Amino acid sequence: MDNSPLSHFDDSGRARMVDVGGKAPTSRRARASGRLYLNAETFRLIESGQLPKGSPFEIARYAGITAAKRTADVIPLCHPLRLTFIDVEISPRQAHSYVEVLSTVIAEDRTGAEMEALVAATTALLTIYDMLKAVDQTMVIGDVRLLEKTGGKSDFKREE
């Protein structure tokens, strides 16, 4: 083992995947969220069903689920996980001018599912953005964050 304070780098400063082989698989759960800020006209078009590409939410939900399963393919040092559950919820919050995405990922593995939850939420947001960009160039993706993780050495829950 090395003495590097950053687990993804060896003593020479080279990036490496952390060896989790000696850890026992446990149930890991992570939740993440993010928001896509929209203008009022875009909300009106969503509600009326008049969008050029159709309703973005179900497609974005599928995209988030698929992305969680592919996280190790796009984040170089992530371990592929044995995912047992993925959920992506999309909630329009017109009164606050945003759409909120909440992802939940559960795995039975040796390392946490935080990245999978964050990738699921972010990909769902990007998919909604893609489907709405023809009608709203002012959109902003923001507030992407880990809400909670359980399992492993430590648990975390964001206080809001």
Q: What is the CATH number of the domain that holds 89?
A: 3.30.70.640
Domains of the chain: total:
1
In a domain, 1, yes or no: no
Domain range for 108 is 30-146
Confidence of residue 10 (pLDDT cuts 50, 70, 90): confident
pLDDT for residue 96:
93
8 domain residue, yes or no: no
Token digits for 51?
């969008």
Residue type for 75, please?
Answer: I
pTM value?
A: 0.88
Q: Give domain status of residue 13, yes or no.
A: no
In this prediction, residue 53 has a pLDDT band, given cuts at 50, 70 and 90, of confident
Assigned domain for 70 exists: yes
- Answer whether residue 106 is part of any domain: yes
Q: With respect to residue 7, please indicate whether it lies within any of the assigned structural domains.
A: no
- The CA distance from 160 to 143, in Å, is 12
Average of pLDDT values for 87-94? 95
Contacts 24+ apart (CB under 8 A), 147-150: 147/31, 147/32, 147/33, 147/102, 148/29, 148/30, 148/31, 149/28, 149/29, 149/30, 149/31, 149/112, 149/113, 149/114, 150/27, 150/28, 150/29, 150/30
The catalytic site residues sit at 130
**Structure tokens of 7?**
């687990």
